[in-house]
Amino acid sequence: MDTVTTRKISFQHELHEIHTVGTELSVTVTAKASVVREWLSSRLYFRQQYVRRKRLVCNRCNERFEMEIDVESKLGELLKFIQKKKGRMHDRAPKVWVEPVLPRCQHCGRENSVEPLIADTKRKDINWLFLLLAQMLGCCTVKQLKYFCKHTNSHRTGAKDRLVYSTYMGLCKQLLPELFGSCS
């Protein structure tokens, strides 16, 4: 069984490399995303992970806890949403992305009160995959979104809804280049 390690290569090249090695392989990834800033590792790696975790905090009771996400089901939901709304977005994120409906707190039970812990996180350590799949990229500040767009060579000026849209599409393009290759 061959091992492929993540290197400073583009996502598309990495996928090509994985397919040429064979179907049964293990992917060794040392970082949570990849060695290249703001570039995700292959989708195969995330299928093997199955569940991604992120620390969250309740705005009301200040309790902290972890939330788990099933990568494949959340990605399927996101793709259905994008396919349904893509024609009407016009390079602007829909309101549900800019102002996401937040989960219910496990401790106090209040709805729409739990946010990811990203305020004190260094921009290079933000878990972009979790925020994409939980559809919480709207919780990021404009500065954090501009940072992502800078490191993925996306246009990074404009209103927050345009930055959120660019971030969603940039992450989707990395995960599924065959579906989002021509998206802006």
pLDDT at 39: 53
End-to-end CA distance of the chain: 37
| Extended strands (E) in 18-139 | 26-28, 51-58, 64-70, 114-116
Q: Is the pLDDT of residue 23 over 60?
A: no
In this prediction, residue 5 carries a pLDDT of: 36
Q: 62 or 4: which carries more pLDDT confidence? A: 62
Q: How many CA atoms lie within 13 A of 110 on its CB side?
A: 12
Q: Which residues of 125-136 are buried (b: 16+ CB within 10 A; e: fewer)?
A: ebbbbbbbbbbb
pTM over 0.75: no
Amino acid at 114: V
- Give the model's pLDDT for residue 155: 79
> Taking Cα atoms as reference points, which of 13, 9, 7 lies closest to residue 28?
7
- pLDDT one-digit tens code per residue, 85-142: 888 989 899 999 999 999 999 899 999 999 998 888 888 888 888 899 899 999 999 9
Domain boundaries, the chain: 3-49, 57-180
pLDDT at 51 > cutoff 70: no
**Distance in angstroms (rounded) separating the CA atoms of residues 182 and 184:** 7
| Reported confidence tier of residue 43, pLDDT bands at 50, 70, 90 | low
Taking alpha carbons only, the member of 113, 117, 162 closest to residue 140 is 117
Query: What's the pLDDT score for residue 128?
Result: 87
